[in-house]
Chain A
């Protein structure tokens, strides 16, 4: 990394591309510098615009001038890769209105706060089981032993997917992350694991079709069969999306929360003793170290002016939620973690029509996970050298987090 000692020109003084390691290791610092100098700039190396300020991020995410259809560059040219792309194009996160509206409305009812409330006892049971399986007094990786299995079991229960399938989620996540984060062509392995899951889900859906209940999968099947509002590929693709989104980002959030808590005994004690502060604390974790570091949009059919600059049709825009969430124009003391911050209009779930469908689920899972950990341990310590952050541009999450907890 070149960093001239006396660079008064910002573009020479700091890393000039989001591909820099610093964007992964310390995104708050890296993107914070960009935001404070120039909340919208063009990254020649990444070949796209980078939005790092709060009002600018909100403007992009709220405006119909930007498209969420950001997949075409990933297209591989063999039939299997095209099949994967075909399914990914049916994910609501990559759709624009009006198709987005139709699918989103279908799925939204399963994720309202009222619907999630019903799942709380199941979530508590799964969180307690996962926490009690953690050893005390010895080092353990809480990412693979807690942050992953807890939300994975919750979303599996919601879709009535057997536990035996859960071990495959990790491969699915790697596959999807490689596809949508790296922007690479799909590898043979990622394609195969994706299509294996498709096969499983087709069989699962057909078996389920003759035994419908009140769960989300049954409701989606009814939408396909009775109302013709959802076709078969959309149904399968939506299930893959729910399985992926339902565990991957929550895993990262739980890991980020535990990492921060293990480094901040004061915060650990405060929240452990003041459980009523958990809802605002969860919002602050989402703002301060949320799992969605950035998201991508494509400029639509006409040139769009943002922050005094002209963005041309087809250009891509990286919207950095992590630095918007630390924007001093929006948040006082943005680099301080305030467990009772209110209001807290963070962009951890995005904003606008693509606002995280699972937000209520994530909020419940995060608080329930912390409660289970507080009940299991009286204190936590990071027991390995500096944990490594996933080398992802869009995600903020730890690869592993070895922690030693004292039994409560």
Chain B
């Protein structure tokens, strides 16, 4: 399913992901760990959901990218997450 360009969505780079579970602990409604030990997106991202930003900022391998419409912010380790 192609993400709606007008809405926000979140992706996990499986090559970078080491399965730390950080994102799952922060936002279990958005992420889950697969049996293979990788994070997978399971929920739709609402624009007002700050937990996705927190998860992206906390990810130890910068594996989470948040897309907002056509804008894109990656590896947001410098975001305060507010």
Contacts and interface: CB of A to CB of B under 8 A. Distances in A.
Interface residues of B, number: 27
B81 A113 contact: no
Given A101-B58, A109-B78, A112-B77, A352 B37 contact: no
B36 A345 contact: yes
Interface stretch (B3-11, B21-29, B41-49, B64-72): B21-29
B22 A114 contact: no
A407 interface: no
Contact of B20 (A63, A64, A102, A351): A351
A344 B57 CA distance: 25
A355 B20 contact: yes
B33 to A, nearest CB: 8
B20 A62 contact: no
B60 A108 contact: yes
Interface residues of A, number: 27
Interface in A327-370: 343-345, 349, 351-353, 355, 357, 359-360
A8 interface: no
Contact of A352 (B24, B35, B75): B24
A95 B8 CA distance: 31
Contacts of B21: 58, 61-62, 351-352, 355
Most chain A CB within 10 A, of B16, B19, B33, B77, is at B77
A389 interface: no
A343 B25 contact: no
A351 B24 CA distance: 10
A357 B60 contact: yes
A355 B78 contact: no
Contacts of B78: 109
Contact of B25 (A108, A352, A357): A352
B60 A355 contact: yes
A111 interface: yes
Q: Give the top 10 A-B pairs by smallest Cβ distance, nearest first.
A: A345-B37, A355-B20, A352-B25, A351-B21, A109-B77, A343-B36, A353-B25, A343-B37, A352-B21, A62-B25
